[in-house]
Amino acid sequence: MFEILEKRALNPTVTLMRIAAPAVARKAEPGQFIILRTDENGERIPLTVADYDRKTGSVTIIFQIVGATTERLNHMKVGDCLHDFVGPLGRATNTADKKKVCVVGGGVGCAIAYPVAKKFHELGTTVHTVAGFRTKDLVILEDEFAAVSDRFERMSDDGSWGRQGLVTNALRELIESGEQYDEVITIGPLPMMKFVCKLTKEFNIPTVASMNPIMIDGTGMCGGCRLTVGGEMKFACVDGPEFDGHLIDFDEAIARSSVYKPFERAEHEKVCNLFREVQ
């Protein structure tokens, strides 16, 4: 059993948990994910490793409350135990041989972007971070990003945090001002990543995109995370979750991901009603 050591709300819909999982913590690297179940009959869901501490044997996960399982998970407390916590899975971020990178995160995707930026920083790489949120109330990990970034650009849709605008606005400004990056790593909503990759392709900057947002089962069996990369079919969970952003068919991925949203909302509402009845 995997004990919840810490739990805190990062914003109204995003929660951080630190889990006792020594075997996972020993091997985890940025870009990888775990699969958990809240109980014996629970749904298996993949969640990205947001941080890890090999000394204490703990792994941090950050999740947005959008479906039935994340609603159940959010009702668990410190001291409770998860039934399963398996990993690390997926291919780790390639952090070798890069002198300067720009990490571009959007929304809850910043939970995935943070360990990547942190690892590059620990290796001595110059790290520029561009983070974007709809509004100040939804910001997560601001202090953490500031601690591992040589330059930190804050963007929000309404201007309540940092500057008003899109992450692509800030990224274009950095590139056109003369910043030269060995690689751009982007993690966030699919439309955001699509336009980040479109921008970097214009400047011929190698770009990696995390397709974690389209994962469902986490083992390749469900087929829900199929995507086309360079004309070939790939699975985000077993072949990724990171791919060459210039080769991804984002339009296909966006269309497929939208199919599951009505089912997700319906299951979420069922669980919410269940907890209301219990209370």
pLDDT band at residue 267, thresholds of 50, 70 and 90? very low
- CA 37, CA 47: separation in Å to the nearest integer? 11
How many structural domains compose the chain? 2
Q: Taking the model in full, what pTM does it have?
A: 0.84
Same domain as 169, residue 104: yes
pLDDT band at residue 268, thresholds of 50, 70 and 90? very low
Assigned domain for 58 exists: yes
Q: Which tens digits make up the pLDDT trace of 128-179?
A: 999 999 999 999 999 999 999 999 999 999 999 999 999 999 999 999 999 9
Assigned domain for 142 exists: yes
What is the residue range of 19's domain? 2-89
10 Å CB burial of residue 220 (0-12, 13-18, 19+) is middle
Same domain as 42, residue 113: no
Assigned domain for 119 exists: yes
Same domain as 195, residue 68: no
Q: Which tens digits make up the pLDDT trace of 174-219?
A: 999 999 999 999 999 999 999 999 999 999 999 999 887 766 655 5
Percent of the chain scoring above 70 in pLDDT = 87
How confident is the model at residue 271, as a pLDDT? 46
Assigned domain for 118 exists: yes
How confident is the model at residue 230, as a pLDDT? 87
Assigned domain for 278 exists: no
Assigned domain for 235 exists: yes
pLDDT at 1 over 90: no
Same domain as 84, residue 188: no
Mean of pLDDT values over 73-77: 91
Q: Which tens digits make up the pLDDT trace of 103-128?
A: 999 998 999 899 999 999 999 999 99
Assigned domain for 263 exists: no
* Residue 195: CATH number of its domain: 3.40.50.80
Same domain as 157, residue 43: no
Residue whose structure tokens are 């994910």: 33
How confident is the model at residue 44, as a pLDDT? 85
- CA 180, CA 120: separation in Å to the nearest integer? 16
pLDDT band at residue 226, thresholds of 50, 70 and 90? confident
- CA 229, CA 235: separation in Å to the nearest integer? 10
